[in-house]
Structure 1
Amino acid sequence: MGSFKQVALVMGLSALACVAHAEEWEVAKDEQGVKVSLASIAGSDYKAYRGVTFIKAPLAKVRALQEDVAGACAWIHECKSQKLLKAEGDQSWTYTQFSTPWPVTPRDSILHITTSQDADGSVTRKLEGVPKYLPEEKGFVRVAQVEGFWKLQPKDGGTEVTYQVHTEPGGSVPSMVANKFVVDAPFNTLKALKAKAERP
């Protein structure tokens, strides 16, 4: 069983390496304790984003907020609704509907999330889009591709959180909207998560 977990971890890390392959990260926003960087991805019109913040709360509390799938919609940027489709050990599948600015058609997304824990207590949640997991919903464009991760790392007095994703949103998205989203999504998500986790 141990060797299977090692293989799964190696496969997970190689998937993370694809997103991390975008090496030219440029800081796009650094405010209110949240730093957002962007990187171009070869063959894609959409940039990858990485948001980092420090949350003055124990890792267990931050993780619990993330694993409350329906409740997490309150702090995920433009989340309209979210539900857990299936949970199996360290893997889960979620369905999310997103609001979008006019004239962009609302998006929905299905994620396969694999959670692993390192020896130092860090938790990594690998995110992989599985658009064909369910039939498409009327009135929504299914997000074609999602690749990324959440990393929660215990630090003195709290948790460092990294949120890194590259998305192919499917359909047609004006570049102005796309460029705004890749900054707003990590910034607003992390800012709202930080506020919720630090609340007594």
Structure 2
Amino acid sequence: MGALEAQTSGGPRARALASASMIRCLLAVLALAGVAHADGGDWERIADRDGVVIERRGVEGSSVREVRVTTRASLPPAAIMATLWKHEEYVEFVPYLKRLDVLRDDGDVRLIYEQIHVPLVKDRDVTLRIRRTFSAETGVYEVASVAVPDEGPPESSAYVRVRTSVGRWRLAPAADGGTAVVYTVRTDAGGLLPAWIVNTAQKDVSVQLVRAMLERARHDNP
């Protein structure tokens, strides 16, 4: 964290707050890709407000926790799925996303590369493999992603390569015609960032992301 400390004044608390703010920016971008199911303990509910439930749990072998956000949306699953799959539009509404390239499109599987501007420290980049599925029997859509750091463009000294990022969106039909939305994520932003900062930021930004994605879906379906 030497680079951050050199550029941030105000003592340890100010530096910690700056770090948390910075990592929120990064996680806001990475989270959009959509967690492969990881082995962990029971979910712990940490917040329930405005129709959004936030839970977390530990993951074996990792200091970064898994976060789950659950809510309801008035739009049907297909409408939200359409917005989630418009990767080329993410740069229009995702803060700090400098660049997004779809490197390969195999229909239901895509390989994408992102560059993310992160205040105060070195920018990040990540290559993700994203897969969408649909069950005609249940009407459930899912989008799962995983970082594939050795695919895509070679590493550059201008960026810190994100090597761990797994996520999943689950969109299930609700009885009222809307959607039961579940978003799960675990991302290690890389570099010398303390796990407690990553965990705090990941919780906050996951809720912001779900709200932003649903708002974009409403914009796409007036």
- Name the structure 2 match of 1:4: none
- Name the structure 1 match of 2:126: 109
Cα offset, 1:94, TM superposition: 1.2
Tell me how many residue pairs correspond in the alignment: 183
Deviations, residues 32-66 of structure 1 (Å, cap 9, x unaligned): 33222111112112111111221111222111111
Aligned ranges for residues 155-174 of structure 1 at < 5 Å? 155=174, 156-174=176-194
Q: 2:216 aligns with which of 177, 196, 200?
A: 196
Cα offset, 1:145, TM superposition: 1.4
Q: 2:79 aligns with which of 61, 64, 71?
A: 61
**Contiguous gaps of at least 5 residues in structure 1:** 1-14
Structure with larger Rg: 2
Query: Partner amino acid for 2:155?
Result: E
1:180 corresponds to 2:197: no
- Using structure 2 for the length normalisation, give the TM-score: 0.73
Deviations, residues 128-175 of structure 1 (Å, cap 9, x unaligned): 110111212342211111223111111122112211122232221134
- Answer whether contact 1:150 1:162 (CA < 8 A) is retained: yes
Aligned ranges for residues 7-156 of structure 1 at < 5 Å? 16-17=36-37, 19=38, 21-76=39-94, 79-102=97-120, 104-118=121-135, 119-134=137-152, 135-155=154-174, 156=176
- Using structure 1 for the length normalisation, give the TM-score: 0.80
Query: Partner amino acid for 1:159?
Result: T
**Contiguous gaps of at least 5 residues in structure 2:** 1-34
* Distance of 1:144 and 1:99 partners within structure 2: 17
* Distance of 1:78 and 1:99 partners within structure 2: 5
* Distance of 2:70 and 2:156 partners within structure 1: 33
* Distance of 2:203 and 2:98 partners within structure 1: 19
